[in-house]
Structure 1
Amino acid sequence: MPSRPIKTALYAPALGRDVAAWQAELRRLDDSGLSALSVSDHFMVGRVDPVAALTAIAMSTRRLRVMALVLCNDYRHPVITHHAAASIDVLSGGRLDLGLGAGYLAAEYAAAGLPYDPPGQRVDRLAESVGVIKALFAGRPVHHEGAAYSVTGLAGVPAPVQTPHPPLLIGGGGKRMLTMAGEHAQIAGIHSNLRHGSAYDAAVIEDMLPDRMARKIAWVREAAERAGRDPDQLDYLSITWTCRVVDSPRQTDAALAEVCRAYAVDPEVGRRSAGLLVGTVEQCVEQLLQRQDELGLNYVDFGAAKAAEVEPLVAALSALD
């Protein structure tokens, strides 16, 4: 039995022209054992705007948490991010998890004509933005004059359902982002360092090997302790870049080899990396329990896996509670 129930998230189903069918699928997932549906913030691959999508998901469900995974700070002023997040929290009845990120997808910045500053500058802006957003959730007039943002006497509205604010999700693969998570987040996302601007190569899988993940989690825990926070009260979430559930143990090796070819990584590396999850339901549950036991990862996002593929896995994890 795990010491804490393993929480599960999945990317929200893609929205097509048949909105009624999309809403029906959301209601079906709402009755599953999933903990949350997540929405990312990208505009090059056909996804809908995350604020609109999270609002629609919140209005179509009653139980699932709605997770911004994550809003890109460079695409939105913190005042706008706060206003949207507070509104979604109210509309959802207090089910928003507010993920905030510094931005990483270089091709998207280029396509939109946005300056792609060095990682340090993007993280600096995010750190300032987090402070502004938290201050706005306090409900008092905010006066802030910083390097990137200026706010003069603005009181944040509406008041959120969750107090003092919706849980913050901050994550990454580098020390600065994970230190920030330890200082501010309720959910720490532990995954690959994407400083090179891509999420589809061997580096992202290798950077989630157990020794590297342990070091990343240590950064979060140390920062939380320095900030006077209890690191055991945080959730530690890992992103599964690819999840593949097979019917028989005889299929596992072939499925893993296929997945690893896509990332140009050795299958033995892929087998050990928290960035991949491949096997039967029983094998996948065993891997997740091992990652929880050895690393403390108690939250997994299955990414863009098909709902029908991971639902037996979600059910098996729910049965452990």
Structure 2
Amino acid sequence: MRLGLQVPIFTWPNGQNELGATFARIAESADEAGLYSFWVMDHFFQIGFAGPPEMEMLEGWSALAFAAARTKRIKLGTMVTGVTYRHPGLLVKTATTLDVLSQGRSYFGIGAAWNEEEHLGLGVPFPSLKERFERLEETLQIAHQMWSGDEKPYEGEHYHLARPLNSPQAVHKPHPPILIGGVGEKKTLRMIAQYGDACNFFARIGDDVLKHKLNVLREHCATFNRPYEEIEKTSLDQLAITKDGRNGSLSPQAAIDLFGKLGEMGIDQAIFSLANVHEPEVFEILATEIVPVVDKLPVAGR
């Protein structure tokens, strides 16, 4: 089983003057601890679960490019890019650039977008939910076409690309893994089966709900004659981990037990944010007590 770290909050005790240095240290520590992947949100304002909009928020793809230069092996991705934020041709070019410069270490995380406040605040059009899903599907089609090297014009309802040239091409073959965010059963899980390489579920939606969503994904895969096992199943959680499980945090064994339960339900990669991510101690715990054990945990269906 694999573990990934998401960093959704950039407000740390040492202040904004040290934000870059702290973020670099976190990325480097995650890499050195043996974590499989490193994720940032793609938002422009901070979102409700973490605090008010005014809290520091780094632009996702720039932050990942910075992290790529400070790391050696860890995978890098957005959890997830809103399809409305960037024209799809430019988005694929941005994602390809990260993949090339990181030597094939990128994920392409994408979703239909939802945060109306930041759209309105920064003057980004915020179409209806129906249109956002239409734009998501067209963007997925464009991404596959550009990464295949097919330069013929793309004519969709919302996007028109006369020559979707993409040079240089991505290092990861056939393309960076496409992770589609969301759990909607009719549209999102269908798109994952048709276009995606990975999905993401909140870890604590409940065992029965998680199993149901995985079964729906399995059914969509059957519709498209897509092996269900080809889709990487990931989860997302918010944790605090300490040596002794103090103040409501998880001890190393409690964290291992949590990840093991997810593996038993078929989750390939458990991604989590850490409330104490700015503390060096947590990476020592991950490197010495958690990652070596979780790496050996079985995943149901694998």
Fold similarity call, TM over 0.5 = yes
Can you list the C-alpha shifts for 1:285-310, whole angstroms capped at 9, x where unaligned? 112211221x2112112125333465
Can you list the C-alpha shifts for 1:113-155, whole angstroms capped at 9, x where unaligned? 4443332221111011110111011112131111110011232
Q: Quick one: distance in 2 between partners of 1:214 and 1:110?
A: 37
SS in 2 for 1:96: coil
Closer/same/farther in 2, CA of residues 92 and 238 from structure 1, 3 Å limit:
same
**Does 2:251 match 1:280?**
yes
Q: Which residue of 2 aligns with 1:215?
A: 212
Higher helix share: 1
Q: Quick one: distance in 1 between partners of 2:44 and 2:9?
A: 16
The normalised TM-score by structure 2 is: 0.83
Kindly provide the amino acid, as one letter, of the partner of residue 243 in structure 1. L
Can you list the C-alpha shifts for 1:252-292, whole angstroms capped at 9, x where unaligned? xx73xxxxxxxxxxxxxxxxxxxxxx632212211221122
Q: Shift in Å at residue 24 of structure 1? A: 4.1
Closer/same/farther in 2, CA of residues 8 and 296 from structure 1, 3 Å limit:
same
Q: Which residue of 1 aligns with 2:52?
A: none
Can you list the C-alpha shifts for 1:10-55, whole angstroms capped at 9, x where unaligned? 3278394344554344333321121111111111132221121111
Q: Which residue of 1 aligns with 2:231?
A: 234
Kindly provide the amino acid, as one letter, of the partner of residue 279 in structure 1. L
SS in 1 for 2:267: coil
* Contact 2:2–2:35 (Cα < 8 Å) also in 1: no
Aligned length: 276
CA-based RMSD: 2.4
Closer/same/farther in 2, CA of residues 305 and 315 from structure 1, 3 Å limit:
farther
Alignment map for 1:13-24 (pairs within 5 Å): 14=10, 16-18=16-18, 19-20=20-21, 22-24=23-25
Alignment map for 1:120-131 (pairs within 5 Å): 120-131=130-141
* Contact 2:2–2:36 (Cα < 8 Å) also in 1: no
SS in 2 for 1:157: coil
Given the alignment, which residue of 4, 7, 10 partners 1:8? 4
Q: Which residue of 2 aligns with 1:53?
A: 63
Q: Quick one: distance in 2 between partners of 1:109 and 1:12?
A: 19
Q: Which residue of 1 aligns with 2:121?
A: 111
Kindly provide the amino acid, as one letter, of the partner of residue 303 in structure 1. S
Q: Which residue of 2 aligns with 1:319?
A: 292
Closer/same/farther in 2, CA of residues 118 and 218 from structure 1, 3 Å limit:
farther
Q: Which residue of 2 aligns with 1:189?
A: 200
SS in 2 for 1:223: helix
Kindly provide the amino acid, as one letter, of the partner of residue 17 in structure 2. R
Q: Quick one: distance in 1 between partners of 2:258 and 2:24?
A: 32
**Structure 2 unaligned spans of 5+:** 47-55, 297-302
Q: Which residue of 1 aligns with 2:174?
A: 164
SS in 2 for 1:303: strand
Q: Which residue of 1 aligns with 2:87?
A: 77
The normalised TM-score by structure 1 is: 0.78
* Contact 1:73–1:103 (Cα < 8 Å) also in 2: yes
Q: Quick one: distance in 2 between partners of 1:27 and 1:215?
A: 37
SS in 2 for 1:111: helix
SS in 1 for 2:188: helix
Closer/same/farther in 2, CA of residues 113 and 63 from structure 1, 3 Å limit:
same
Q: Quick one: distance in 2 between partners of 1:314 and 1:107?
A: 39
